[in-house]
Amino acid sequence: MENDTTKKLYEVGYLLIPLIPEDKVADEVNTVRSYIENTGGFIVSEEQPKMRKLSYEIKQRGMASKKARFEDAYFGSMRFQATAEAVLAVNESLDKNDKILRFLMIKTVKEVPRVPRTGVPAKSKSEVVDLDKKVIMSDVELDKEIDQLLDVSKVVA
């Protein structure tokens, strides 16, 4: 638990080239996982790569001569805890991997459950209605209350 103070939560999103057959995508995920775990990182959660259409064509890195361009790719992501030095090492090894088209390493925070802001105006309305009711109910009691208040003021005077 001592390391938890130096370890921070990071997230890596990556695009795998679409030439990989679907059965072998898991192997690529394992290599990415090994990069993180070999440097002492701890994987918190992960999203399995899914084939999706890209918004624009991406050239394969280091293959400029072949002019390999891709319109779709497998997109996956991982959240992990690691030290700053370990992240640099992971970055380097991801950079060298030819099967990764592109990746994005970001520092994140723990996921916070969403709490929509609803029902606030409704509550205040109901309170107002309650106040009105009290006033209507206390037609007889009102006289008593005024008398009491008068008595109190007399005592004070």
Partner 1 sequence: MINKQCYFCTNGFKHIDYKDTDTIKRFINQHSSIIKSGKTGICSLHQKKLATAIKRARHLALVPFVSR
115 binds partner 1 (CB under 8 A): yes
58 is a contact residue toward partner 1 (CB under 8 A): yes
Does 123 contact partner 1 by CB under 8 A?
A: no
Residue 74 touches partner 1, criterion: CB under 8 A: no
Terminal Cα-to-Cα distance of the chain (whole angstroms): 68
Under rule CB under 8 A, residue 32 binds partner 1: no
Q: Which of 15, 25, 82, 87 binds partner 1 (CB under 8 A)?
A: 15
Task: Name the residue type at position 39.
Answer: T
Single out the residue of 33, 27, 53 nearest to residue 45, CA to CA: 33
Contacts 24+ apart (CB under 8 A), 92-96: 93/35, 94/12, 94/14, 94/32, 94/35
What are the C-alpha distances in Å from 128 to residues 67, 124, 134, 137? Answer: 70, 6, 10, 15
Does the protein bind partner 1 through residue 54 (CB under 8 A)?
yes
Q: Closer to partner 1 by CB, 38 or 45: give it.
A: 45
- Count Cβ atoms below 10 Å from residue 93 Cβ, excluding itself: 16
Q: Is 106 in the site for partner 1 (CB under 8 A)?
A: yes
Q: Using CB under 8 A, which of the segments 2-10, 38-46, 53-61, 129-137 binds partner 1?
A: 53-61
Confirm or reject binding of residue 112 to partner 1 (CB under 8 A): yes
Does residue 65 bind partner 1 (CB under 8 A)? no
Q: Residue 121 interacts with partner 1 (CB under 8 A)?
A: no
User: For 88, phi and psi rounded to 5 degrees?
Assistant: -60, -40
Strand partners, 53: 72
Binding site for partner 1 (CB under 8 A): 13, 15, 47, 52, 54-56, 58, 73, 75, 77, 102-104, 106, 108-109, 111-112, 114-117
